[in-house]
Structure 1
Amino acid sequence: MKETLDAYQYWPYEGRPKIDWPGGARVAFWVAPNIEYYEIDPPANPHRKAWPHPHPSVPGYGIRDYGNRVGHQRQMALLDKYGIRGSVSLSVALCEHHPDIITMCRERNWEFFSHGIYNTRYTYGLSEAQEREMIRDGIESIHRHTGQACAGYLAPALSHSEHTLDLFAEVGQELFGEDAGIYTCDLFHDDQPTPIRLRSGLRFLSVPYSLEMNDTIVFAVNKVEPRHYLTMLKRHFDRLYAEGAESGTVMCIPTHSYQVSCPHRIKAFEEALEYITGHSDVWIATGREIARHYLDNHFDTASQDIAARAEG
């Protein structure tokens, strides 16, 4: 029985090589809108039900459809206001179902990374060959519809296999070289980017993506009120900002337009964005930009430090 994930080694926070962000920023800040597509009657998966209700699950489907019909435009206008380019965690089927949303994001030069094909189809139970094909389909579809080489991955509905990270890096870099397949959002284990071990030896990293600040976890799981979500976001930022004076940190706000964009919640999100972007030494970036900067400037030094500590 395995006791740890093979993807990374224990690497304590204290004493790591310093991270320098562009312009001397303390915090690299990014927003990851999850723009998802849910099927009302998806193929059954024996490992997980797509909906808690019997078919048809109208309440669950309806609120998610609200996110694409109404909430996305509301969130996009807010990110425009504060000069934030979203890094879209994309259910790739949305390219076919709602191409107008893709067009709006492309017009703003937002990043697109893969969140699987549908958020009602999971990695659980797939063979390695089937998962490879799903990942390839997502990467190729993003390129076909947006012109972007897909750099990042968040598994559909956070479903994984032992091979997910290996496959994403292998397929992405096979198709597009080091422009694709370079980072994951799936590990949730750190406040700084970290090198990830792959069977292929390809250069690959984890970019922090916070489940604690994820609006679905906050509102639907932890039942937090919007005003307290604002307090959480500010406190989360304040701690990372203070620690970032010594070595750069990363703050991500993962969002869903059927959650944070509801009329009674959007104001709290807006006040958090105003607070965070009001600091001059914050780098407002995309996931790809954070990953690229780290790979080019810090990855090798970090990898050497991890290896030295393991030997010591």
Structure 2
Amino acid sequence: MRASSCGHGGARYAWPGGAKLAVYLGVNLEHFAFGEGLGAELAPGGPQPDVLNYAWRDYGNRVGAWRLLEMLDALRLPATVLLNSAMYDYAPDLVAAHRARGDEIAGHGRTNSERQSVLDEAAERGLIAESTAAIARHEGRPPRGWLSPWIAESRTTPDLLAEAGYRYTLNWCMDDQPVWMATRGPSAPGRLLAIPYPQEANDIPSVVARKDGAEQFAAMVLADFEERLEQVARDGIPQVMGIALHPYIIGQPYRLRALRGALSAIAARRNAVWITTAGAVYDHALTLPEGAVP
């Protein structure tokens, strides 16, 4: 697998309506196993069952995600849902609510209680296949995009995704523009579009790792947006801005209140930017002349 070089002098094209900045929300709907597995921590965990941290994460699926949905509806914002397929059994009504909105459903593994990077190739292929089949069964079509749980990749993950029919990955945060990645193929190289997914405008690194406050995270999202608007106006190079949200973090009332201000300001500029989904970014990339996307 290899990625094309883009760099600061990136390709020049436009998003729909002539916009130079595309903005999408990545809403992570994640499953965590009780008494085992992985998970972000509010406080250092003790022996399993770690009720404190499990219950804190579960708040997102029980409450926080629904409050986030209310806000997205009020602001008329679409979302790309990054879905652990175990959520179909664990919180089917929540997935159905996003389906009813017409949100894009992208693959996010089976559960966030495992990492695919530690599996051998056959087992990783099976994980991708199982998650994909569940989404196809419930949504009526397979997902086109993938974000690995914990952004964990083996050396063959992009190849396996392309072979499973995926068209884009959100695992790579190395650019402001989409970049084609070359993958192996049975007779000729395939390709997978790497669409920027944020590791800065992302509530886990911000709140959990850096201990940013609610207002600080919201201000960071808005500053990121405003700086990008200035950059694309100045140099004409299109960008993709993702905002990564986890309901158990951002769905806490005081954080949701702060984020609402930032997202309201972004929504108010919808005539100047393209507010979209990751899948629509992929679709638009296909309409561009060959070579426009590096």
Tell me which interval the TM-score lies in, with the shorter structure as reference length. Answer: over 0.9
For residues 109-124 of structure 1, what are the structure 2 equivalents within 5 Å? 109-124=102-117
Contact 1:112 / 1:148 at 8 angstroms: preserved in 2?
no
128, 133, 143: which one aligns with 1:150: 143
How far does residue 10 in structure 1 lie from its aligned partner after superposition?
A: 3.6
The answer to whether structure 1 residue 170 and structure 2 residue 155 are counterparts is no
State the aligned residue count.
Answer: 285
Are 2:57 and 1:69 equivalent residues in the alignment? no
Could you say which residue in structure 2 is the equivalent of 1:127?
Answer: 120
Distance 2:40 2:253 in 1: 26
Shift of 1:49: 8.6
2:283 is the alignment partner of 1:295: no
Q: Which ranges in structure 1 are unaligned for 5 or more consecutive residues?
A: 1-5, 173-180, 304-312
* 1:224 counterpart letter in structure 2: D
- SS of the residue corresponding to residue 217 of structure 1 reads helix
Classify the secondary structure of the residue corresponding to 1:34.
strand
- Equivalent in 93, 105, 109 of residue 100 of structure 1: 93
Cα deviations across residues 224-264 of structure 1 (Å, max 9, x unaligned)? 11111122111100121122231221111100001111011
Q: Per-residue deviation at 1:123?
A: 1.2
Secondary structure of the corresponding residue to residue 37 of structure 1? coil
Alignment of 1:22-33 (within 5 A): 22-33=16-27
Q: Give the ranges of 4+ consecutive aligned residues of structure 1 lying more than 6 Å apart after TM superposition.
A: 48-51
Given that 2:6 and 2:175 are in contact with CA atoms closer than 8 Å, whether structure 1 keeps it comes out as: no
2:114 aligns to what SS in structure 1? coil
1:12 aligned residue (7, 11, 18): 7
Q: Work out the percentage of aligned pairs sharing the same amino acid.
A: 32
Q: Displacement of 1:101 after TM fit?
A: 0.9
* Aligned twin of 2:249: 259
Taking structure 2 as the reference length, what is the TM-score of the superposition? 0.92
State the partner residue of 2:219.
231
- 1:202 aligns to 2:190 (yes or no): yes
The one-letter code matched in structure 2 to 1:8 is A
TM-aligned CA distance change 1:156 to 1:267, over 3 Å:
same
- 1:10-58 CA deviation, whole Å, 9 max, x = no partner? 43221x3312100011211100110000001346xxxx89984321011
Question: What's the TM-score, normalizing by structure 1?
Answer: 0.87
Q: Any idea what the Cα deviations from partners look like across 1:197-221, whole Å, max 9, x if unmatched?
A: 1112223211111110111111111
Residue segments in structure 2 that go unaligned for 5+ positions in a row: none
Q: 1:248 and 2:238 equivalent?
A: yes
- Output the CA distance in 2 between the equivalents of 1:49 and 1:228: 23
Residue identity opposite 1:301 in structure 2: A
- Once residues 20 and 32 of structure 1 are traced to their aligned partners in structure 2, the CA distance between those partners, rounded to angstroms, is 22
Which amino acid in 2 is paired with 1:12?
A: G
Superposed counterparts of 1:20-99, under 5 Å: 20-42=14-36, 52-99=45-92
* Rounded Cα–Cα distance in structure 2 between residues aligned with 1:251 and 1:204: 19
Shift of 1:159: 1.6
Q: What residue identity is the alignment partner of 1:231?
A: A
CA gap of 1:205–1:67, structure 2 versus 1, over 3 A, is same
Matched, 1:284 2:275: yes
Provide the rounded CA distance (Å) in 1 between the counterparts of 2:121 and 2:31: 24
